[in-house]
Structure 1
Amino acid sequence: MNRKRIGFIGLGVMGSRMTRRLLNAGYEVIVYNRTPEKMGPILQQGATAASDISSLAKQSDVICTCLSMPSDVKAVYEGPDGILANSRPQTVCIDFTTVGMDTSIDLANQAKAKQIDYLDAPVSGGPEGAEQGSLTIMVGGNKTAFEQVSQILNVLGQNIQYLGDSGLGSVAKLINQYLVAAHSLAASEAMVTGVALGLRAEQLYDILRTSYGDSRMLRRHMETYVLPRNFEPGGALKYVLKDVNLAIELFAKIGLQPRTGNSAVEVLNLAVEQGLADLDMSAIIQPLEKQCEVVVKKQSGNA
């Protein structure tokens, strides 16, 4: 089978797991990470280290990026030492980072001018989905380029959606993140209110998860993080704040007031001010708990 040589930049919580899946599928993978120590475990599994971004770009047929912030993406792609200046024509770039629509369109246009394809392909599913290869991947950009890398995407995800023009993958992901933030806040407000008024947290949660008030974010947050009081991140709160702010920019484009999004941003900012930025997104509940002087947690003995 003809295997493309893949360059992968960004070996954080998501990128490291995605890279392992590509290696396990038999792909030759060249990696680069700003923090070199993070490359160690991946190199032990068979990846090759690149000394810098430009050398990785020159050696790769497909380049994947999975970074934290839009500014990180622009820094990696642009400039004389970046991906676009050093990749060969017909290289396909797949950016798994959650960035704004305008950033995706801008990078796609810059890539096209150099006969390179740039696909915005943000993902949903968290570290578990990355590890299991069950991610949802939302792709915008040239359809021919998408088809050329579909085998690679199928190693990483189970729900691969081609959405059309550049930027539309980012739009879909940001709309998802808008709901993540809104649902997280609503679930947190509901649980804090119930506990403050005397309900037992586990009993209230059991009612909500079997009623119309149920949501995936309610279940995720309560079962894994809030009730056991373990806020080690799957998805850090600061990144959800970044995403919902980018989503609000989309609302401005169409003249719609982001009412629930604005409320989520208010509480997320409060959480950041209280030093919770690097905790899991479920820590959005903590400023509300502090305000009401309650803690939503499991009780010893029977629920």
Structure 2
Amino acid sequence: MRVGYIGLGAMGGALARHLVGKFPLSVFDLNQTAVEAFVALGATRAVTPAELARNNDVILLCLPRSSDDQAVLFGPNGVAEGLSAGKIVVDQTSGVPSETRGFARQLEEMDVSLFDAPVSGAMATAIAGTISIIASGPDAAFRKALPVLQAISPNVFHCGERVGNGQTMKTVNNMMNVSCRLATLEVVAMGRKVGLSLEAMTDAINATTARNYTSQGMLPAIAEGRQSTKFWLALQVKDIHQAIGLAAEQKVPMPIGGAARSILQIGLNSLGKDAQLEQMIGVIESMAGTKFVDAPKPAGSQEVK
């Protein structure tokens, strides 16, 4: 089975590396430095998405948003120009489910199957090959491409034959994750302002029913002065905006999710388009007028009693 991968950014690059040496692999990305790194590992460079699609049986996409999928699939020299009957497209983009279903319908007219398979997990799990892959789409296409997905990670889940269900599940996870993250940070900021230490709160929270992914991962990282996550804040805002949009389509009120989106947007407006999600720690500190960790005392200083 010949495999092509389009989108070698931080996440896509980490996922695609697991395919090197396991399948004949072709890659495409606008960032030629990223492409060169894969060529050095033994992958083949594709000049256009159409060429990549023409030379491979399974084509995976991992792009920032659905509009990028649209351009790469159906734009000039796009994937669709190189497809033929029986080929499979796997969309790993955290996209809009309804738009992905539209892509699938267009490709179905060419006797090409598309299913979505976004991932959920930290960058460390992508690198380690243990990230969760949440797929949905035609069972026959999923089973045919399953060895490719399992080469990326053994943790593959199929959420039904309706294209877009995987992206919907990813949207649910994104909203839950970011809402818990911001709620945890804001109440810990309150505790810090009252005088509790971050270490004491982290230990206590993680021994109670309030423990969560943020309390178990981000809070210890803050205390130790290390980075806990590597993700663009603009992409997090995009993901949550998609979740709010999906809720609006279904007439589901999202007051908590809406508040989370607003806080993230404040951070993005303040920090700029190149900000990392990690920098929201400083935004929460600023809003609360406190610091999660006390500044180190200058060398030689003495405490006044």
TM-score bracket for this pair, using the shorter chain length: over 0.9
**Of the candidates 65, 71, 93, which is equivalent to residue 69 of structure 1?**
65
Does the Cα contact within 8 Å between 1:237 and 1:276 map onto a contact in 2? no
**Of the candidates 237, 242, 245, which is equivalent to residue 241 of structure 1?**
237
Does the Cα contact within 8 Å between 2:4 and 2:27 map onto a contact in 1? yes
Which amino acid is the alignment partner of residue 166 of structure 1?
A: V
User: Separation in 2 of the partners of 1:48 and 1:228?
Assistant: 41
**Structure 2 residue aligned with 1:160:** 156
Does the Cα contact within 8 Å between 1:62 and 1:92 map onto a contact in 2? yes
- 1:141, CA displacement in angstroms? 1.3
Does the Cα contact within 8 Å between 2:123 and 2:229 map onto a contact in 1? no
**Of the candidates 185, 198, 203, which is equivalent to residue 201 of structure 1?**
198
**What is the percent sequence identity of the aligned residues?**
25
- 1:279, CA displacement in angstroms? 4.1
Q: What SS class does the counterpart of residue 77 from structure 2 fall into?
A: coil
Distance 1:215 1:76, change over 3 A: same
Does the Cα contact within 8 Å between 1:227 and 1:298 map onto a contact in 2? no
User: Residue deviations 1:7-31, cap 9 Å, x none?
Assistant: 101111111122211114x211101
Q: Which moved more, 1:199-208 or 1:144-153?
A: 199-208
- 1:50, CA displacement in angstroms? 0.8
TM-score (norm 2): 0.91
User: Residue deviations 1:155-213, cap 9 Å, x none?
Assistant: 11232111121111111000000111101111111111111111111211111111111
Q: What SS class does the counterpart of residue 34 from structure 1 fall into?
A: coil
**Structure 1 residue aligned with 2:258:** 262
**Structure 2 residue aligned with 1:214:** 211
User: Separation in 2 of the partners of 1:272 and 1:231?
Assistant: 19
Residue ranges of structure 2 left out of the alignment (5+ in a row): 298-305
Count of residue correspondences: 296
Does the Cα contact within 8 Å between 1:196 and 1:294 map onto a contact in 2? yes
Distance 1:277 1:261, change over 3 A: farther
User: Separation in 2 of the partners of 1:124 and 1:279?
Assistant: 21
User: Separation in 1 of the partners of 2:188 and 2:67?
Assistant: 36
**Structure 1 residue aligned with 2:188:** 191
Does the Cα contact within 8 Å between 1:14 and 1:126 map onto a contact in 2? no
User: Separation in 2 of the partners of 1:197 and 1:28?
Assistant: 58
Which amino acid is the alignment partner of residue 181 of structure 2?
A: S
Would you say 1:16 and 2:24 are equivalent positions?
no
**Structure 1 residue aligned with 2:300:** none
* Aligned residue runs from structure 1 range 1-303, under 5 A: 4-24=1-21, 26-164=22-160, 165-224=162-221, 226-231=222-227, 233-275=229-271, 277-297=273-293
Q: Which moved more, 1:77-86 or 1:240-249?
A: 77-86
User: Separation in 1 of the partners of 2:2 and 2:213?
Assistant: 37
Does the Cα contact within 8 Å between 2:230 and 2:278 map onto a contact in 1? no
User: Separation in 2 of the partners of 1:135 and 1:35?
Assistant: 24
TM-score (norm 1): 0.92
User: Residue deviations 1:210-236, cap 9 Å, x none?
Assistant: 111110122222233x33444585222
Q: Which moved more, 1:120-129 or 1:168-177?
A: 120-129
Q: What SS class does the counterpart of residue 274 from structure 1 fall into?
A: helix
Q: What SS class does the counterpart of residue 246 from structure 1 fall into?
A: helix
User: Residue deviations 1:125-156, cap 9 Å, x none?
Assistant: 22222222212111121110000011111111
Distance 1:12 1:234, change over 3 A: same
User: Separation in 2 of the partners of 1:57 and 1:220?
Assistant: 39
Does the Cα contact within 8 Å between 2:48 and 2:78 map onto a contact in 1? no
Distance 1:34 1:85, change over 3 A: same
User: Separation in 2 of the partners of 1:227 and 1:277?
Assistant: 27
RMSD: 1.8
Does the Cα contact within 8 Å between 1:108 and 1:141 map onto a contact in 2? no
Which amino acid is the alignment partner of residue 215 of structure 1?
A: N
Q: What SS class does the counterpart of residue 42 from structure 2 fall into?
A: coil
Larger radius of gyration: 2
Which amino acid is the alignment partner of residue 233 of structure 2?
A: L
Does the Cα contact within 8 Å between 1:183 and 1:218 map onto a contact in 2? no
- 1:254, CA displacement in angstroms? 2.2
